[in-house]
Amino acid sequence: MTGTAAQDSTEIARLIGIVTEQQHRLQLTHFDNDDAWRLGCLLVELGRERRLPIVVDVRRNGHQLFHASLPGTTPDNDSWVERKVRVVNRFGAPSYLLGLRSRLVGSTFEQDSGLPVQEYAAHGGSFPITVKDVGIVGTVTVSGLPQAKDHALVVEALEGFLDLPHLVDS
């Protein structure tokens, strides 16, 4: 393995550890329609403050409870949301994590899963909404930025929603 490839693998492994820890740490005690509204509004507020061209989507048990498209987005962002949500629903993990796991072994999610790229996207931005002692009950998704930034924005919003300190390194 070349020095660059080893460095890349080390960085990807580090990111996998961070995202895995985030999934474990960012669990709610409950999640209802009002929580979905507040979480969605928090993401929209962050997007507006920063003038980000994002789509925000929050679902519980497949039911879309919040959806907003900020200026600069297109219908293509909605397609990305759907594809990322399918990955989280099928595998029970953040969409970013699944893509990183494939990259770590020198592959792609599409090669590893055999799933159609038109329906599934293991790119950052969709995160499972997990209720402690219950499990995954929904998804929160952002589309419009580079995948690491989509993921980081969702994590930042969940940390704010849970009133946790924001850990910048993700």
Nearest to residue 95, comparing CAs of 140, 50, 57? 140
- Residue 24 burial by CB count (10 A; 0-12/13-18/19+): exposed, middle or buried? exposed
How many Å apart are CA 65 and CA 45, to the nearest integer?
Answer: 17
pTM for this one?
0.93
* pLDDT tens profile 18-67: 999 999 999 999 999 999 999 999 999 999 999 999 999 999 999 999 99
How many Å apart are CA 144 and CA 87, to the nearest integer?
Answer: 17
* pLDDT tens profile 97-125: 999 999 999 999 999 999 999 999 999 99
Domains and CATH numbers, the chain: 3-161 (3.30.450.150)
